[in-house]
C-alpha cells in the first residue's frame, strides 16, 4: 500500500546521510521532497500543509542544529509527526461494563463491511469472547447470505431473521418500491437475542450505498439510535484516495462514528486515505483489513505503521503473529532435540512450514522486516506456490525417508518426484538444501555461528582461531579432572547455542543498558508463562 510513499521518503533521507550540519536550504529541500511524496500518495492537501509545517518548524529548531547527527534527527521528527497524523496512540475497543458490547459497522457499499464483520468476530473469538453477527443489511443483493457464509468461516453464529434482497436487484434502484424487511427491527432483535443467549459481543452489519445519500444516513442514524452501540466503526476502502475525506466527513456528520477501519490495505493504491482520515476527522484508526481470509486483520498501531512507511520494519507485529502461529509444545520439542543432538528431520520441517503458513501472507511478513525497500522486486516475484511444491515432495516420502534423508537413493528420488508431480532435479535440490540446514543446526549446537557468516559477540563464527588441544595427563586423578572440565565446557557451549537459537535468557548477562524498540519489553522472558 505505501510502497510509493516509502520509496520517495527513503530516497529523500539518503541525501541527508553523512552531513555534519544541515543548512536551511538543505531542510527546505527535504521539506519540499516530503511534500511532493505526500501529495503523490494522495494525502489530503490540508494534512500535507499541516504536516510539513510542523516538520519544518521542528527541523529549523535547536533539536536538529544541536544534534550530533542532524540527518537522523530529521528522520526522527518525520517519524514522530507521522505517528501523530495516524492517530498517536493505539486505541482498543471500548467493551461494555455489562455485556453485550454492541458494535455497529457503517460505510459505503463495497468498502468491505461484511468481510470485516467476520474478521472482527474471529479476532474477538480468539481473545476469548463470544460474538454474534447480526445481518441488518437487507438492501444489497444476497448480503444476508454472504454474512452467513462469513460467519461460518469465522466459527461464530449469525442472527438473520430476514432474508433481505434475494431477487438480484437493489431496492435503491427501484425508488423505494421494494421492501425487504426492517433493518432497525433486525438490529434491535439481534441485541435482544444476544442478551438472552448470553453472547458478550454483538456485531451489526448495516447497509451501504454506492454513494453517500440521505436514505443511507437516515437508516444508519435510526439503527444507532435504536441499539445505542458502544462502538460505531466506519469501514473505508483504503484505495479510494482523496474521496476518503469527503466520505468520512459525511459519515461523521450523519452517524458520528467512534473509530475507523481501513480495508484492502494490502492493495497497490497509494495509501493517502490512511494518512488523512484520522487527522481530518479526529477519530482513531482502530483496525486494518489486509486480505480476504478471516484471519487477515490487524489492530492498527500508528507507531508501527509509521515505521513501515519509513522502511524501519514492524518487528513487534511480526513477533505477535509468530507467537500465535507457533505451538509451545512444538517449540519445546525442538529445543529438546537440539539439546539431545538429534538431527532436524523432514517432519520437523513440515511443522515449521505449517506454522509459517498460519502467520499469513509471506510477502506481507517479509515486508515487516527492516530495510526491505531495496528488495521489492524480489518480493513481488516471490512465488508462494513453491511452498506447496516442497510440501508435496515431503509428503510423498515414507516415514522412514523423512527421518533418514541420506537413505534416499536414485530410485526413491524418482518415486518421490513422480508422486509429487515434480522433476528429479527438484527433489535433488530439496535434499541438498535440507542437508545444508542440518549442517547449520549442528554448527549452532556446537556453539558456532551460522555457516558463511561472521562470528557474533560471545559466540563462534565462520573464522575461529585454531586451538591447540592439550594432551591428557598421565595422572589418573588429573586426567579425570580434565575430562570433567571438558564436559562442563561442552554443556555450557550447547546451552549458549540453545539460548541464541531459541531465545532462552542468559542470567549472567546484564541487559539493562540495551536499547529496545518501544513496547518490546513485554516480549522479553519474565520467568512466567
Find out whether 317 and 301 touch, Cβ atoms under 8 Å. yes
DSSP run (H or E) holding 132 = strand 131-136
Find out whether 64 and 73 touch, Cβ atoms under 8 Å. yes
Question: Residue 102: what pLDDT?
Answer: 94
Longest dimension (CA), the chain: 105
Q: Is 109 annotated as a binding residue?
A: yes
DSSP run (H or E) holding 69 = none
Q: Is 291 annotated as a binding residue?
A: no
CATH code, 3-85? 1.20.120.140
Q: Is 209 annotated as a binding residue?
A: yes
Location of each CATH 1.20.120.140 domain in the chain: 3-85
**Sign, Cα dihedral of 16, 18, 21, 25:** negative
Location of each CATH 1.10.260.30 domain in the chain: 319-445
Q: Is 512 annotated as a binding residue?
A: no
Q: Is 171 annotated as a binding residue?
A: no
Does the structural domain 319-445 have CATH classification 3.40.640.10? no
Tell me the C-alpha distance between 108 and 170, whole Å.
14
User: What distances in angstroms separate CA 190 from CA 37, 162, 186, 197, 229, one per listed residue?
Assistant: 46, 11, 6, 10, 12
Q: Is 208 annotated as a binding residue?
A: yes
Q: Hunting for cell 595422572 — which residue is that?
A: 475
Cell numbers placing 509: 548477562
Q: Is 65 annotated as a binding residue?
A: no
Fold for 101-310, please state it.
Answer: Rossmann fold (3.40.50)
Find out whether 138 and 183 touch, Cβ atoms under 8 Å. yes
Q: Is 340 annotated as a binding residue?
A: no
Q: Is 264 annotated as a binding residue?
A: yes
Residues in a beta bridge with 205: 105, 135
Cα 407 from chain centroid (whole Å): 40
Question: Residue 150: what pLDDT?
Answer: 93
Question: Residue 290: what pLDDT?
Answer: 79
> Which parts of the chain register pLDDT below 70?
1-4, 18-20, 62-68, 167-180, 241, 266-271, 273-274, 311-343, 355-384, 444-474, 490-529
Give the three-class secondary structure for 419.
helix
Q: Is 108 annotated as a binding residue?
A: yes
Location of each CATH 3.40.50.300 domain in the chain: 101-310
On the 0-12 / 13-18 / 19+ scale of CB atoms within 10 A, 103 is: buried
Three-state SS sequence of 453-478? CCCCCCCCCCCCCCCCCCCCCCCHHH
Q: Is 113 annotated as a binding residue?
A: yes
Tell me the C-alpha distance between 232 and 351, whole Å.
40
Q: Is 272 annotated as a binding residue?
A: no
Q: Is 93 annotated as a binding residue?
A: no
Question: Residue 294: what pLDDT?
Answer: 85
Q: Is 26 annotated as a binding residue?
A: no
Amino acid at each position: 500500500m505505501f510502497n510509493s510513499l516509502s520509496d520517495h521518503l527513503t530516497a529523500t533521507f539518503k541525501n541527508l546521510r553523512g552531513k555534519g550540519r544541515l543548512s536551511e536550504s538543505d531542510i527546505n529541500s527535504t521539506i519540499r521532497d516530503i511534500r511532493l511524496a505526500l501529495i503523490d500518495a494522495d494525502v489530503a492537501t490540508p494534512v500535507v500543509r499541516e504536516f510539513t509545517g510542523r516538520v519544518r518548524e521542528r527541523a529549523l529548531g535547536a533539536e536538529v542544529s544541536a544534534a550530533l547527527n542532524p540527518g537522523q534527527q530529521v528522520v526522527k521528527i518525520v517519524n514522530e509527526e507521522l505517528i501523530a497524523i495516524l492517530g498517536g496512540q493505539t486505541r482498543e475497543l471500548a467493551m461494555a461494563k455489562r455485556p453485550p458490547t454492541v458494535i455497529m459497522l457503517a460505510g459505503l457499499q463495497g468498502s468491505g463491511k461484511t468481510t470485516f464483520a467476520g474478521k472482527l468476530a474471529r479476532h474477538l473469538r480468539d481473545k476469548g469472547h463470544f460474538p454474534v453477527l447480526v445481518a441488518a443489511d437487507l438492501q444489497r443483493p444476497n448480503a444476508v447470505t454472504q454474512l452467513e457464509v462469513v460467519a461460518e468461516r469465522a466459527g461464530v453464529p449469525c442472527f438473520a431473521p430476514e432474508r433481505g434482497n434475494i431477487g438480484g436487484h437493489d431496492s435503491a434502484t427501484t425508488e423505494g418500491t421494494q421492501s425487504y424487511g426492517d433493518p432497525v427491527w433486525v438490529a434491535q432483535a439481534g441485541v435482544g437475542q444476544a442478551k438472552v443467549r448470553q453472547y458478550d459481543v454483538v456485531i451489526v452489519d448495516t447497509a451501504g450505498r454506492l454513494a453517500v445519500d440521505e436514505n443511507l444516513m437516515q437508516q444508519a442514524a435510526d439503527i444507532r439510535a435504536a441499539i445505542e452501540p458502544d462502538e460505531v466503526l466506519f469501514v473505508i476502502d483504503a484505495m479510494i484516495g482523496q474521496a476518503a475525506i469527503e466520505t468520512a466527513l459525511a459519515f461523521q456528520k450523519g452517524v458520528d462514528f467512534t473509530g475507523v477501519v481501513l480495508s484492502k490495505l494490502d492493495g497497490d493504491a497509494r495509501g493517502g486515505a490512511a494518512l488523512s482520515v484520522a487527522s481530518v476527522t479526529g477519530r482513531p484508526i482502530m483496525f486494518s483489513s489486509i486480505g480476504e481470509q478471516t484471519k487477515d486483520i490487524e489492530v492498527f498501531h500508528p507507531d508501527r505503521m509509521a515505521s513501515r512507511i519509513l522502511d524501519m520494519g514492524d518487528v513487534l507485529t511480526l513477533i505477535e503473529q509468530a507467537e500465535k502461529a507457533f505451538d509451545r509444545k512444538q517449540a519445546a520439542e525442538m529445543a529438546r532435540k537440539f539439546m539431545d543432538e538429534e538431527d532436524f528431520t523432514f517432519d520437523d520441517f513440515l511443522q515449521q512450514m505449517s506454522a509459517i503458513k498460519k502467520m499469513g501472507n509471506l510477502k506481507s511478513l517479509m515486508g515487516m522486516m527492516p530495510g526491505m525497500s531495496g528488495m521489492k522486486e524480489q518480493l513481488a516475484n516471490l512465488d508462494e506456490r513453491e511452498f506447496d511444491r516442497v510440501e508435496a515432495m515431503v509428503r510423498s516420502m515414507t516415514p522412514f525417508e523423512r527421518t533418514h534423508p541420506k537413505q534416499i537413493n536414485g530410485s526413491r528420488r524418482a518415486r518421490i518426484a513422480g508422486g509429487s508431480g515434480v522433476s528429479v532435479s527438484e527433489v535433488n535440490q530439496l535434499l541438498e538444501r535440507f542437508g545444508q540446514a542440518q549442517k547449520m543446526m549442528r554448527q549452532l549446537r556446537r556453539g558456532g555461528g551460522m555457516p558463511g557468516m561472521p562470528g557474533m559477540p560471545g559466540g563462534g563464527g565462520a573464522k575461529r582461531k585454531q586451538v591447540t588441544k592439550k594432551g591428557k595427563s598421565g595422572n589418573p586423578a588429573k586426567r579425570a579432572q580434565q575430562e570433567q572440565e571438558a564436559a562442563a565446557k561442552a554443556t555450557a557451549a550447547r546451552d549458549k547455542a540453545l539460548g541464541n537459537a531459541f531465545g532462552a535468557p542468559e542470567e549472567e548477562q546484564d541487559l539493562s543498558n540495551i536499547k529496545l524498540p518501544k513496547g518490546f519489553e513485554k516480549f522479553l522472558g519474565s520467568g512466567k508463562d
